[in-house]
Amino acid sequence: MIKKALDEIQIMVSGNGLGASFNNTFINGVSIDSRTCTKGNLYVPIVRIKDGHTFIDDAIEKGASACLWEKSRPNPPKKIPVIFVEDTKNALQNLARSYREQLTAKVIGVTGSNGKTTTKDMIHSILSTKFKVYKTKGNLNSEYGLPLSLLSVSENDEIVVLELGMSNRGEIETLSKIAQPDIGVITMIGTSHIATLGSRKAIANAKLEIIAGIRQNGLLSIYGDEELLIDTLKDIENKEIRITTFGITNKNDIYQTNVKSNARNIEFTINTDDNHVYSINLIGKHNINNALAAISVAKELGMSDKQIKIGLKKLSLTGMRMEEIKSDEGFTIINDAWNASPTSVQAAIETFNELTGYNRKILVLGDMLELGQNEVEYHKEIGYQVAQSKIDFLFTLGKLAKYIAEETQRNHGSKKVKTFLDKQSLITQVRDVLEPNDVILVKGSRGMALEDIVNALIKNNN
């Protein structure tokens, strides 16, 4: 993590007001949350729903050794050194940008509508067989999270793998200019954030903002079967960067061949070398594309086929992404509750259909949020897919997910379907039907927090 003297920090954030006696005082790491401050941290009070300045005493008690402070805010602390800035969010981002410029590590930035966290994990797993690699922890991928991720990097790290998230236009550009990737990756374009951006083309444009920060002669690796990405790239005048593509079809630079899959494992080769069989212990063929993206990065950095194979084999994913949980009562939960979009829900259901060896299949779906004016139709499309599936029970949570239930019943009335507006009632009903050797898939948008259902089912059956 960042370890700097305060006089250098003041320059990096374009601040002022630091007492000369504190010039050589060092900070060790950065925190924007007084609850998680540790000894030696620089506390950066962010103004969001709550004003971080009001928690300064808590931060000091937890060990903060210095802080930034907006000039317009009254009562700066007297117990620790203070650097005054115009805006603490901008100061945090400037600090991260400046720190990145001092790092010798190669930076990889990953964005996309779906699959970016899994791709990030795959890249990290492969590159760790050769390099000292830091990756974004959890989902610290926002205007606050990405700077904190960068500021957690050690000067000894050789590779940094960062996730770039967004809600609106301009955000990826901002994050990319902070991260300054040597390699950028766009996994795919879906319908997430279509409510704010208006169309899939606008989403493609927003994801391609990653180009703004990619270093000269850097590499952009994109899902080449997405025409919106390819067509939009033609219209973008950018600095000198190289483009490579991955995907299913043979028009890509790297594409899959000889795919074999079962309920626990996927094996495949790639067009550049049919002699090396890659294996990933994941369910869902859509994960091949994530693996191809990771392989394209690994090849760029000179990784051998053996190192790539070892890295994919030892892959460990961030939680709540098709996470398999065995209960003591004999049933299995597939926890995919981190987020949901029409594309990712469709892929999850297809994967769920392919699972074998279970008695019954139970599907728990929550609302898919941020889908704009066509949100009802998107939910109905999922309902039609469920109706054609091998799923035995469907439970939905939320006002929008109710359309999934209605469409499922309309197209396949014999399926057992129930819809709810509160979690506890749903949990009770699911618990009533559960039997040993059943399998449950739980998926919904982040705002639905469906991990509460997963935790309740496990808690009550352990």
399: which residues sit within 8 A by CB, 6+ positions away? 367, 421
Which tokens belong to 271? Answer: 């067009």
Query: How far is CA 164 from each of CA 116, 131, 144, 204, rounded to the nearest angstrom?
Result: 8, 22, 11, 14
DSSP string, 136-167: --TT--STTHHHHHHHT--TT-SEEEEE---S
Nearest C-alpha neighbor of 350 from the set 396, 380, 382: 382
Q: Which residues pair with 111 in a beta bridge?
A: 186
Report yes or no: 454 and 444 within 8 Å, Cβ to Cβ.
no
Question: Letter for the amino acid at 162?
Answer: L
Beta-strand relationship, 183-186 and 254-261: unpaired
**Alpha carbons 167 and 163: distance in angstroms, whole number:** 14
Which tokens belong to 394? Answer: 């469907």
**What are the helix and strand counts (H, E) for the chain?**
16, 21
**Every domain range in the chain assigned CATH 3.40.1390.10:** 3-86
Nearest C-alpha neighbor of 362 from the set 404, 399, 334: 334
pLDDT in tens, the chain (462 residues): 999 999 999 999 999 999 999 999 999 999 999 999 999 999 999 998 899 999 999 999 999 999 999 999 999 999 999 999 999 999 999 999 999 999 999 999 999 988 888 999 999 999 999 999 999 887 788 999 999 999 999 989 999 999 998 878 899 999 999 999 999 999 988 766 666 677 888 888 889 999 999 999 999 999 999 988 888 887 665 558 999 999 999 999 999 998 887 767 888 999 987 778 898 888 777 889 999 999 999 999 999 999 999 999 888 777 667 788 888 889 999 998 888 888 889 888 988 888 888 999 999 999 999 888 889 999 999 999 999 888 999 999 999 999 999 999 988 766 799 999 999 999 999 999 999 999 999 999 889 999 999 999 987 544
**Every domain range in the chain assigned CATH 3.90.190.20:** 323-459
Query: How far is CA 183 from each of CA 9, 120, 166, 308, rounded to the nearest angstrom?
Result: 28, 12, 18, 17
Fold of 3-86: 3.40.1390
Report yes or no: 333 and 454 within 8 Å, Cβ to Cβ.
yes
In the chain, % helix, strand, coil (3-state, to 5) comes to 40, 20, 40
To 5 degrees, how large is the angle CA 348–CA 443–CA 317? Answer: 70
Report yes or no: 207 and 233 within 8 Å, Cβ to Cβ.
no
Report yes or no: 379 and 346 within 8 Å, Cβ to Cβ.
no
- CA gyration radius for the chain? 24
Question: Letter for the amino acid at 139?
Answer: N
CATH number for the domain whose boundaries are 323-459: 3.90.190.20
**Alpha carbons 161 and 179: distance in angstroms, whole number:** 10
How much is the pLDDT for 321? 74
- CATH number (3.40.1190.10, 3.30.300.130, 3.40.50.720, 3.30.420.40) of 103-313 reads 3.40.1190.10
How much is the pLDDT for 221? 96
Q: Among the residues of 20-158, which ranges form H helices?
A: 56-62, 88-102, 116-127, 145-151
Query: How far is CA 408 from each of CA 418, 428, 460, rounded to the nearest angstrom?
Result: 10, 22, 29
**Alpha carbons 77 and 416: distance in angstroms, whole number:** 61
**Every domain range in the chain assigned CATH 3.40.1190.10:** 103-313
Instruction: Provide the 3-class DSSP secondary structure of residue 51.
Output: strand
Phi, psi of 459 (to 5 degrees): -60, -40
**Alpha carbons 429 and 326: distance in angstroms, whole number:** 20
Which tokens belong to 382? Answer: 């999922």
How much is the pLDDT for 462? 45
Which tokens belong to 279? Answer: 């294996």
Beta-strand relationship, 266-270 and 273-280: antiparallel
Report yes or no: 135 and 152 within 8 Å, Cβ to Cβ.
no
Cα–chain center distance at 307:
24
> What's the number of CA atoms in the CB half-sphere (13 Å) around residue 373?
3
